[in-house]
């Protein structure tokens, strides 16, 4: 069995941003040499996430609007009593999820026709990372 680990690093331009990372994950899978297995893609920060969905600008905008309704910025969250100001980012990350496990078949990601992998940043403008761990044969 092969176990291969690599990292993606992000420093977003805006506080909240969605970045398509499918090609980066695919490149790591190829570099790993695994032909059959799985790849774990996991955000290593508690205010960012990873998810799979369609890469369509209207849908990305809809996610942002929906998340703001569910976990609005600027509310008087209890978390803010600790000196932090990012409770909404923690909640948004929980809603979107922090990691995905994807199949590898024939040495490539085995995604559906519209599926893409995204990094979601909810408290950005500083350096953060995502672990990509490939397991298989």
pLDDT of residue 4: 98
Q: Edge-to-edge, what's the strand order for the sheet holding 2-10?
A: 2-10, 128-136, 36-43, 99-105, 108-109
What per-residue confidence (pLDDT) applies to 127?
95
Which residue ranges make up each domain of the chain? 13-73+86-117
Distance CA 43, CA 117 (A): 12
- Per-residue pLDDT at 21: 98
On the CB side of 92, CA atoms within 13 Å amount to 28
pLDDT on residue 53: 97
Whether residue 11 contacts residue 129, with contact meaning beta carbons closer than 8 Å, is answered with no
The fold of 13-73+86-117 is Jelly Rolls (2.60.120)
pLDDT of residue 69: 98
**Residue 102 pLDDT:** 98
Q: Is 77 helix (H, G, I), strand (E, B) or coil?
A: coil
Rounded distance between C-alpha atoms, residue 97 and residue 50, angstroms? 6
| Residue 89 confidence (pLDDT) | 96
**Alpha carbon distance 64, 137 (integer Å):** 38
Chunked mean pLDDT (size 10), the chain, 137 residues: 98 95 98 98 97 95 96 92 92 97 98 97 95 98
């Amino acid at each position: 069995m092969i176990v291969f680990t690599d990292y993606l690093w992000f420093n977003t331009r805006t506080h909240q941003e969605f970045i398509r990372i499918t090609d980066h994950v695919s490149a790591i899978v190829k570099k790993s040499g695994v032909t059959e297995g799985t790849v774990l893609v996991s955000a290593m920060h508690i205010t960012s996430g990873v998810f799979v969905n369609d890469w369509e600008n209207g849908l990305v905008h809809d996610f942002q609007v929906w998340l703001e309704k569910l976990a609005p910025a600027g509310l008087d969250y209890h978390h803010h009593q600790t000196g932090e100001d990012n409770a909404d980012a923690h909640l948004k990350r929980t809603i979107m999820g922090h990691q995905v496990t994807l199949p590898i078949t024939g040495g490539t990601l085995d995604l559906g026709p519209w599926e893409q992998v995204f990094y979601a940043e909810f408290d950005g403008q500083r350096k953060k990372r995502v672990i990509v761990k490939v397991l298989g044969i």
